Amino acid sequence: MSAPEFLNTLERSGLSTWIRESESAFAYYFVLVLHNIGLALLVGTCGVLGARLLGFVPELPLPPLARFFRFIWAGFWLNVLSGIVLLIAYPTKALTNPVFYVKLVLVALGVWALRKIERQLSSHAAARDATPAVPRSLALWMLGLWLGVLTAGRALAYTATYILYGKGT
């Protein structure tokens, strides 16, 4: 099966070519840096929150800790945007790789788990409940899903069949 032609069109566009081929330090690696910072904000904050929900440092009050959710979402949107730019740079590489679709599904499930946790925490905070109860299984799913996103994202660098349109690895 040959890759669809629109990948070739996108890859030849000015923006795609510039991100890929520019010698500037503000081209491809700058976008990767942004994607990396987004990952650190998102997965890092999830890690702390997840550890607390699993019973690590139980004396740490949850409602104020939940305020760090804004860093999770900041990281998420930064990575949606930087991810789109990376996709424009290497559309064939990503879209012909099944791992990329696995990553997208895991992202969707991860967002679902995070939103569920956020809702449970905020409803308890509104009820002035000092010890909001988020099921441990949900915390584990959330951590596992984002770990999966990270692993799938890293794996994209090693599992691509094509790097550019018509160019295999």
List residues near other proteins by CB under 8 A.
25, 28-29, 32-33, 36-37, 39-41, 43-48, 51-52, 56-57, 59-61, 63-65, 67-68, 71, 147, 150-151, 154-155, 157-158
Please report how close the Cβ of residue 9 comes to other proteins at its closest, in angstroms. Answer: 27
Sign of CA dihedral 100, 151, 51, 33: negative
The stretches of 13-135 forming alpha helices (DSSP H) are 14-21, 28-53, 62-65, 69-89, 91-95, 98-126
Please report how close the Cβ of residue 6 comes to other proteins at its closest, in angstroms. Answer: 29
Q: Give the residue with the Cβ less far from other proteins, 41 or 113.
A: 41
Please report how close the Cβ of residue 43 comes to other proteins at its closest, in angstroms. Answer: 4
**SS3 state at 167:** strand
Q: Give the residue with the Cβ less far from other proteins, 10 or 152.
A: 152
**SS3 state at 162:** strand
Tokens 């069949």 sit on residue:
161
